[in-house]
Amino acid sequence: MMQSNGQMSRVGAVKVALQRFAFVVLVLSAFTLMLLGKADTLVVDRMRTAVTDAMAPVLEVLSKPAASVASVMNTVRELAHLRQENATLRDENLSLLRWQALARQLQAENQRLRELTAMVKDPKPRFITARVVADSGGVFARSLIVTAGAQHGARKGQVVVSAQGVVGRLTEVGHRASRVLLLTDPNSRVPVLLEESRARAILMGTNRDRPQLAFLKAKAGVSPGDRIVTSGIGRLFPPGLPVGVVSSVDDGHIWVELFIEDSRLELARILDYGPDGIVGDPNAGPVVETAPPQDGAAGVAPGADPDPRPGPTPEAGTVAAPDTGAEASPPVSVPRPAIRPARDGR
């Protein structure tokens, strides 16, 4: 028993000595490498390259199992995510199919009602596609510069949209470029309405990423997720253009999340409704074309009853002067014999 304890103590002493010796050897090796690196860099680079070449196959062999395990784990996680996503997409697909069928029915019904009521169709605008080249300030806090000017047909006040929704309208038009006032600018005011409840409001820019709704009467009926579209009031924007959705309702303030992101906007479309704009000028009355007066019969005042007696009408005996491009002469009456019908055999 005492011998075994003595052997264990000797083994422990040897381990301690080896650890201390190994520590000393490592320190000396580090200093040696540092000195060699300072003295002869070429030798150190060759040693480093040799060690790298020798350890590369070992590291490659050791990395393959780890890469395989990581790939298997990623596959398992992706399968679970794909299964959940597949179930979600199936539900969304069924919902979209129901909405598609309903939309087709409503579209056909709307078309029939339009035909029955002889509704005037909304004007279809032309458009100019321009590239957004700058996001500059100036008088307006939030605006964009687009590469379309007066020479391309752009005019002040025209509506600017993108594939997602309304961007703003033109406020300054140059010869080659124009400035677009964004919906988030404090100077922006856009008449809008809630698509579901048809309640009208004004979309006001707040110099933030989210504008707010103002002058809305039925605030209690607004909830997050309600879609906002242009109302067409004020002759500034055509009706029905998508604007955004209600993001939050707090403390009487209704904030709107816009469909467009001006920081990612590259192309914009300028709508052109012609010289009259979206709606013609209501103060301009209709143009009435007056026909030239017709020459009446001689001796017959306009609006008088014709001669009740039988015989030729008064116009039959009137000969009008030929039209020679000069001033028209008065009609010439040709005498005719008086013919009276017999009365009671007399």
Rounded average pLDDT over 179-185: 93
Rounded average pLDDT over 247-275: 88
Confirm if 183 and 166 have CB atoms less than 8 A apart. Answer: yes
In this prediction, residue 37 carries a pLDDT of: 67
In this prediction, residue 41 carries a pLDDT of: 67
pLDDT digits (tens, 9 = 90+) for 54-69: 888 888 887 888 888 8
Q: What's the pTM?
A: 0.53
Q: What percentage of residues in the chain have a pLDDT greater than 70?
A: 72
| Domains in the chain: boundaries | 14-121, 126-272
Q: In which residue are the tokens 């080896």 written?
A: 18
Strands 267-272 and 159-161: antiparallel
In this prediction, residue 139 carries a pLDDT of: 61
Phi-psi bin for 45: left (phi > 0), alpha (psi -120 to 50), beta?
alpha
Confirm if 262 and 144 have CB atoms less than 8 A apart. Answer: yes
- State the pLDDT confidence band at 7, using cuts at 50, 70 and 90: low
Is pLDDT of 90 > 80? yes
Pair of tokens at residue 237: 């924007």
- Please classify residue 265 by burial: count the beta carbons closer than 10 Å to its beta carbon, then call 0-12 exposed, 13-18 middle and 19+ buried: buried
Pair of tokens at residue 149: 């000017």
Question: What 3-state DSSP class applies to 75?
Answer: helix
Confirm if 267 and 148 have CB atoms less than 8 A apart. Answer: no
In this prediction, residue 149 carries a pLDDT of: 93
Which fold would CATH assign to domain 126-272?
Answer: Thrombin, subunit H (2.40.10)
pLDDT digits (tens, 9 = 90+) for 214-247: 988 766 678 899 999 999 888 788 889 999 999 9
Q: Where are the alpha helices (DSSP H) in the chain?
A: 2-39, 41-117
Q: In which residue are the tokens 């393959």 written?
A: 64
